[in-house]
Amino acid sequence: MHVPEGVLSGTASGIAVLGASALVAAAGTALGLRRMDYERVPRVAMLSAAFFVASLVQVPLGPTSEHLMLNGLVGLVLGWAAFPAILVALILQSIFLPVSSGITTLGLNTLTMALPAVVAHYLFRRAARSDRAAVAFAAGMGAGVVATVLGAMLLSAALVAVGEGFARVSQVVFALLVSLAPVEGLVTASAVLFLRKVRPELLDAPVWRTTPLEVSDG
């Protein structure tokens, strides 16, 4: 998912794309920070940590493998605060982990992951608060899939905007990321179900009184 350092910074249009996306990412981060009040700080930190670590989980996809992003989950829980959470995680990834994100591509990478997260938040947060487990599961699934596909679209658009030479490359990227979407969806859906059971307030959801998924022994 990450655009590595040096791929885009070579050309003028590449620098323009990087600059523009950095500005948008900065705006999103500012908005996210303004909406982050005292009570929400720990959950932002927690989701940021989860996002940071999720990049180490490799999903084998054909010849290569892609790492999990979990930006759907981050968005579902955090909303606009997904921007600062993902930005911090990406900075730390570029320092600590050999995930190929760099400082110049930080803005673009933040944008392509955090913006879909916010979209997923507004599309699926209500469904994720549903009392019915199946609906909550589907909401998680949807958030994971939408966030991944949308991220892939943004990334491909950025690569296409840089020049014709990247068009074929971005098709490959797009196909690869879209094939990751079901995995993201499943992981996000199970995470949502898990949160609904253990910590429903993370999703601003009421406590589940009935446990719909429990199978009776009778």
What are the residues binding other proteins (CB under 8 A)?
2-4, 6-7, 36-38, 41-46, 48-50, 52-58, 63-67, 88-89, 92-93, 95-100, 159, 166, 168-170, 172-173, 176, 198-199
Which residue carries 């908005």 as its tokens? 31
CB 25 within 8 A of CB 110: yes
Candidates 196, 218, 217, 216; CA nearest to 207 is 196
Residue 72 CB, nearest distance to other proteins (Å)? 16
Residue 161 CB, nearest distance to other proteins (Å)? 13
Q: How far is the CB of 87 from other proteins (least distance, A)?
A: 11
Widest distance between CA atoms in the chain: 69
DSSP state, 89? H
Q: Which of 45, 55, 121 is nearest to 93 (CA)?
A: 55
123 vs 140 by CB, closer to other proteins: 140
CB of 217 to other proteins, least distance (A): 26
Q: Which amino acid would we find at residue 153?
A: M
The C-alpha angle with vertex 19 and arms to 17 and 20, in degrees rounded to 5, equals: 65
Q: Which is nearer to other proteins, 66 or 184 (CB)?
A: 66
H or E segment at 147?
helix 133-162
Distance in Å, CB of 218 to other proteins, minimum: 30
Q: Which is nearer to other proteins, 7 or 119 (CB)?
A: 7
Q: Which is nearer to other proteins, 98 or 218 (CB)?
A: 98
